[in-house]
Amino acid sequence: MSNIDATFHALADPTRRAILQRLTRGPATVGQLGDPFAISLQATSKHLRVLERAGLITKAKSGRDRIISLELNALSVAKSFIVKICTI
């Protein structure tokens, strides 16, 4: 899957978009990201794997916690594509 395909695939899901929106306020743990949703920790982790494969987030270990951060530069691929289409 190309980078742009992975990005749009990741953005296609409302839960993943909500996770990204939450991360605009700063890094969070996996548990904190899953709390607002009626999904298991395992389901949250699956969503995070999709976001990570697209390069939209990074994970870092801090003790027993995994800290998730937003990678804004990765969204530039989608932004460039959308801007290009909108100028046609």
Query: From residue 80, how far is each of 31, 46, 56, 77 by CA, in Å?
Result: 32, 27, 15, 5
**Res 2: pLDDT:** 75
User: Does the predicted model carry a pTM greater than 0.85?
Assistant: yes
The CATH architecture to which 3-82 belongs is Orthogonal Bundle (1.10)
Q: Which residue has the higher pLDDT, 72 or 68?
A: 68
Q: In the beta sheet, which residues pair with residue 59?
A: 68
Per-residue confidence band for 54, with pLDDT thresholds at 50, 70 and 90: very high
Q: What are the percentages of helix, strand and coil residues in the chain, rounded to 5?
A: 60, 15, 25
How many angstroms separate the CA atoms of 85 and 88, rounded? 5
pLDDT over 80 at 30, yes or no: yes
How many angstroms separate the CA atoms of 48 and 60, rounded? 13
Domain boundaries, the chain: 3-82
Name the percent of the chain lying above pLDDT 70: 99
Computed over every residue of the chain, the mean pLDDT equals 92
